[in-house]
Amino acid sequence: MELGLAYYLTGRYEDAVNIVRRGMSRQKDFVGHYITLAAVYAQMGRVDDAENAARKVLKMHLFFEVNDYGSAFRDPSDREKIADGLRKAGLK
């Protein structure tokens, strides 16, 4: 997931999807994978995929909040970029 987020933050969206999908083959029920995919797919314009990933996030983490998740990033521009993708995916 961390490498997927790094790819996301540098605009390497296809790489982000590929690495997160590989991680999912080992840990299918890890919410972090779906959080990353929701943001990546949203930025790629893959709206249906982003919304599906967002629904899985909420199913696994009922009280997920974009602002709380984004607070883990030190760089304000990174926080905003991840928050932007997550909001585009339909998360709040």
Confidence bin at 1 (pLDDT 50/70/90): confident
Mean pLDDT of the chain: 95
Instruction: State pTM to two decimals.
Output: 0.94
Q: Is the pLDDT of residue 9 over 90?
A: yes
Q: Could you tell me if 2 and 36 are in contact, meaning their C-beta atoms sit under 8 angstroms apart?
A: no
Domains and CATH numbers, the chain: 2-88 (1.25.40.10)
Q: Is the pLDDT of residue 71 over 90?
A: no
Summarize pLDDT for 37-49 with one digit per residue, the tens: 999 999 999 999 9
